[in-house]
Amino acid sequence: MFSNRLVNILIPTISVFLGLLVGAFIMLGFGYNPLTGYLSLWEGAFGDSYFFGETLRQVTPYILSGLAVAFAFRTGLFNIGVEGQVIMGWLASVWVGLAIDAPMIIHLPLVIIAAALAGAAWGFLPGLLKAKLGVHEVIVTIMMNYIALYTSNALVRNIISDGQDRTDRIPETASLTSEWLAALTQYSRLHYGLLIALFAAAIMWFILNQTTRGYELRSVGFNQDASRYAGMNVGRNIILSMVISGAFAGLAGAMEGIGTFGYQSVKGGFTNIGFDGIAVALLGGNAAIGVVLAALLFGTLKVGALNMPTGAGVPTELVDIVIAMIIFFVASSYMIRWFLLKMKKEGK
């Protein structure tokens, strides 16, 4: 009755549906009308071209941070450090953007490569520690997040700017913003980064599914011992996976640095792009196309949610609960999977 592929699509869909449903009940429970609530969420995300642009703008870094988490997952690594890698990528893109003066055709690619390299470097270290010394990547990457946050703050404050809270704006030659897109969406901050994100998704699919190296990476993810027995260099694959994952995360940072904001500021806390990326990857089933779709959903929820307090009087916290519910149902997908398999058997 259900093919495996269908089950893989059904589980996240049902999870999202159940999450929204439970969210609706919670809204009802607190005396809000869930329909006006969700309606204003929809309005806030797609109400007119401005909000649609902002939604796509929010989706862009989510795609990349989701890809970063998913890529490491496929090699059996849990990269919690995407957040830190995003911050380093953001910093690098802005720093190189400010430091170098060049025509756009050189400047822009240089800035993007710098961001990817910075993120990759931030992923390399945990990968190295895991491969050579067996230090668990979760612990190291969590710590690396804090190092990234405070390093970036110190550099912005003392080196890149003159004791200011944020850097100067990057020059046009290093910027992904486009007047054409802004005019099309009534001054939203939509930028060309979306194309980069989609391209990155295609690259991830290509690496993992069409190359020998990708086969090895996935094989290490399935079973390290078997891979070693088959003659693969497990350590090198772990490092490579973390480096590529970090590069995706660095690009996500660049989307914010040279796309949305155009500067880096002293941050009081994490951006949450990396942490949300974990949820995006989970919901997207760690596959490239799944991540793109999940990022679309999360971007919609995040931007749309901003309209819920003004549009329907529903507090933003409730939207966080809905998102948490969706993740909860994805994480407990075993329940849904079991149920679907049961139906499949009964069907036969």
Partner 1 sequence: MLKNRRSLLILTLLLAIGMVLGACGSSDGDSEDAEGSGSDNSNGEEAAGDDFSVAMVTDVGGIDDKSFNQSAWEGLTAFGEENGMEKGQGIDYAQSTSDADYNTNLNRLVRSDYNLIYGIGFLLAPAIEEVADQNPDTNFGIVDSVVEKDNVASIVFKEHQGSFLVGVAAAMKTESDKVGFIGGVDSDLINKFEAGFRAGVKSVNKDIEVKVQYAGAFDAPDDGKAIASNMYSQGIDVIYHASGGTGNGVFAQAKDLKQNDADRNVWVIGVDRDQHEEGQINDTNVTLTSMVKRVDVAVQDVSTNAMNGEFPGGEVVEYGLEDDAISVATTNEEAMTDEIKTAVEDWKEKIVNGEVEVPSTIDEVKEFEDSL
Question: Does residue 266 belong to the site contacting partner 1 (CB under 8 A)?
Answer: yes
Question: Does residue 312 belong to the site contacting partner 1 (CB under 8 A)?
Answer: yes
Closest of 173, 170, 169 to residue 105, by C-alpha = 173
Question: Does residue 24 belong to the site contacting partner 1 (CB under 8 A)?
Answer: yes
Closest of 174, 202, 191 to residue 60, by C-alpha = 191
Question: Does residue 155 belong to the site contacting partner 1 (CB under 8 A)?
Answer: no
Q: Which two tokens stand for residue 270?
A: 């994490």
CB 62 within 8 A of CB 276: yes
The correct pick among 134, 269, 347, 348 for binding partner 1 (CB under 8 A) is: 269
> Mapping DSSP to helix (H, G, I), strand (E, B) and coil, where does residue 191 land?
strand
CB 19 within 8 A of CB 283: no
Of residues 63 and 129, the one with the C-beta less far from partner 1: 63
Question: Does residue 49 belong to the site contacting partner 1 (CB under 8 A)?
Answer: no
Q: How far apart are CA 119 and CA 108, in angstroms?
A: 17
Q: Which amino acid is at 316?
A: T
Question: Does residue 13 belong to the site contacting partner 1 (CB under 8 A)?
Answer: no
Nearest 10 degrees: Cα torsion 11, 38, 292, 56: 180
Question: Does residue 83 belong to the site contacting partner 1 (CB under 8 A)?
Answer: no
The correct pick among 187, 206, 215, 222 for binding partner 1 (CB under 8 A) is: 187
Q: How far apart are CA 170 and CA 222, in angstroms?
A: 43
Q: How far apart are CA 32 and CA 314, in angstroms?
A: 7
Question: Does residue 324 belong to the site contacting partner 1 (CB under 8 A)?
Answer: no
Question: Does residue 224 belong to the site contacting partner 1 (CB under 8 A)?
Answer: no
Binding to partner 1, residues 28-47 (CB under 8 A) = 28, 33-36, 39, 44
Question: Does residue 271 belong to the site contacting partner 1 (CB under 8 A)?
Answer: yes
List residues near partner 1 by CB under 8 A. Answer: 21, 24-25, 28, 33-36, 39, 44, 48, 50-51, 54, 58, 150, 153, 157, 163-166, 187-189, 256, 260-261, 263, 265-269, 271-272, 303, 306-307, 309-310, 312-313, 316, 339, 342
